[in-house]
């Protein structure tokens, strides 16, 4: 496996969930496989769960780990070919990626979108340039448009908590004070459409996600109608894809509270974290015993470990 950047890089979600649950039941069984192998985790943006869970996954496999915050600690990287580099950027991605490949056997990259230039963001330029110039396998630690390690952990969590073979899973937009990427939502839709679930997406008008990730999904602009009979409510804010990067106005009534959860089939509540309390979701829901937010975060380790194990076994 040379890259893990989307659900398209794996053959079958159910198989991968099974592998992850197996690893979770015996996390140190493969400790010899990563011996003398190094993973480099490169961050252009903040991270808590991705950083710690991927680090832990690598340690569970016996790997060594190098973490670098590229924005603050590295040279400013040039991505365009043929640039006369007499301005701000100091090192070209060609050299940077080639050099990193000398030190690392697997590389992870986190890079957020601009939320101002849709074409550039949806070309996923930073991730794709690393993919082009690294000579070792690449793991997305959340790109401009997708967050596959999060969605994989979410699929594991749903498999553990579902009470029927094909649960109703509702991805609900929720308010937020800041423009956020569409990556978590795009990715969740992409993974759920490859899973044995009934996916319904609910968001205000003007907030429909990119068709390339949501084709065939049911979309409704009526949140309460979507919640009826739901087994899982997955809350997430995203800024508009249509009015690119806009956060909208007068949408505070989309906050998820107990009254809305009462419309569901005793649904579990999910969120990838970090979450703005009492904006996205009320304290009552987040602190309830039906919230899976911490269980999702725990499964990030086993999602990452499954990916790294596959790369260590079949990477080169
Ligand atoms: C990121 C996002 O893609 O929505 C990472 C989620 C895993 N979230 C944020 O940037 C939240 C920042 C904020 O201001 O609350």
pLDDT one-digit tens code per residue, 186-227: 999 999 999 999 999 999 999 999 999 998 899 999 999 999
| Whole-number pLDDT of residue 72 | 87
Q: Please tell me whether the peptide bond between 68 and the residue prior to it is cis, using omega within 30 degrees of 0.
A: no
As given in the structure block, the two tokens for residue 121 are 């963001």
Q: Which of helix, strand or coil describes residue 200?
A: strand
Q: Phi/psi zone of residue 122: left (φ > 0), alpha (ψ -120 to 50 degrees), beta? A: alpha
Cα–Cα distance for residue pair 278/174, rounded to 1 Å: 11
- Nearby residues of 311 by Cβ (< 8 Å), 6 or more positions away: 1, 4, 106, 137, 139
Q: How far is the CA of 87 from the centre of ligand 1 (A)?
A: 30
Q: Phi/psi zone of residue 248: left (φ > 0), alpha (ψ -120 to 50 degrees), beta? A: left
Cα–Cα distance for residue pair 94/91, rounded to 1 Å: 8
Q: Is the CB of 276 under 6 A from ligand 1?
A: yes
C-alpha dist (Å) from residue 200 to 14, 87, 212, 234? 20, 47, 16, 10
Look at residues 114, 136, 155, 130 and name the one whose alpha carbon lies nearest to residue 12.
155
| Whole-number pLDDT of residue 315 | 67
The ligand 1 atom at the shortest distance from the C-alpha of residue 176 is: 15
The ligand 1 atom at the shortest distance from the C-alpha of residue 178 is: 14
Series of mean pLDDT values for 10-residue runs along the chain (316 residues): 97 97 97 97 97 98 97 93 96 98 98 97 98 98 98 99 98 98 98 98 98 95 98 98 97 98 98 98 98 98 98 82
Q: Is the CB of 180 under 6 A from ligand 1?
A: yes
Most ligand 1 atoms within 8 A of CB, residue of 52, 144, 274 to mutate = 274
Q: How far is the CA of 180 from the centre of ligand 1 (A)?
A: 6
Cα–Cα distance for residue pair 69/225, rounded to 1 Å: 43
| Whole-number pLDDT of residue 316 | 52
* Chain Cα centroid distance, residue 311: 18
- Nearby residues of 117 by Cβ (< 8 Å), 6 or more positions away: none
- Interaxial angle between packed helices 148-161 and 293-314, expressed in degrees from 0 to 180 and rounded to the nearest 10: 120
Look at residues 282, 196, 187, 275 and name the one whose alpha carbon lies nearest to residue 236.
275
28 DSSP assignment: T
Q: Nearest residue CA, atom 10 of ligand 1? A: 180
| Whole-number pLDDT of residue 216 | 85
Most ligand 1 atoms within 8 A of CB, residue of 181, 247, 280 to mutate = 181
| Whole-number pLDDT of residue 197 | 98
CB contact at 8 A, 107 and 100: yes
| Whole-number pLDDT of residue 314 | 87
The ligand 1 atom at the shortest distance from the C-alpha of residue 184 is: 3
pTM recorded for the entire structure: 0.98
Cα–Cα distance for residue pair 71/268, rounded to 1 Å: 37
């Amino acid at each position: 496996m040379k890259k893990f950047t989307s659900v398209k890089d794996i053959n079958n979600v159910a198989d991968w969930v099974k592998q992850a649950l197996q690893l979770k039941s015996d996390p140190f069984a493969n400790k010899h496989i990563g011996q003398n192998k190094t993973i480099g985790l490169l961050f252009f943006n903040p991270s808590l769960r991705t950083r710690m869970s991927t680090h832990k996954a690598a340690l569970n496999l016996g790997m060594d780990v190098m973490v670098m915050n590229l924005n603050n600690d590295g040279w400013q990287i040039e991505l365009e070919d043929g640039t006369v580099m007499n301005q701000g950027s100091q090192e070209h991605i060609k050299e940077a990626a080639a050099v990193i490949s000398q030190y690392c056997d697997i590389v992870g990259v986190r890079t957020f979108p601009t939320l101002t230039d849709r074409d550039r963001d949806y070309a996923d330029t930073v991730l794709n340039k690393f993919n082009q110039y690294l000579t070792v396998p690449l793991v997305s630690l959340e790109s401009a448009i997708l967050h596959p390690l999060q969605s994989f952990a979410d699929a594991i969590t749903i498999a553990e908590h579902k009470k029927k073979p094909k649960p109703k899973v509702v991805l609900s937009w929720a308010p937020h004070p800041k423009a956020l990427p569409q990556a978590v939502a795009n990715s969740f839709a992409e993974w759920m459409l490859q899973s044995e679930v009934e996916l319904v997406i609910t968001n205000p008008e003007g907030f429909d996600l990119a068709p390339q990730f949501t084709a065939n999904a049911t979309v409704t602009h009526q949140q309460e109608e979507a919640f009826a009979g739901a087994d899982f409510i997955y809350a997430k804010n995203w800024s508009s894809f249509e009015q690119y990067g806009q956060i909208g106005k007068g949408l505070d009534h989309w906050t998820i509270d107990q009254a809305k959860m009462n419309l569901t089939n005793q649904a579990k509540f999910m969120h990838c974290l970090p979450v703005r309390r009492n904006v996205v979701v009320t304290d009552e829901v987040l602190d309830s015993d039906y919230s899976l937010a911490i269980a999702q975060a725990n499964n990030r380790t086993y999602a990452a470990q499954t990916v790294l194990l596959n790369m260590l076994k079949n990477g080169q």
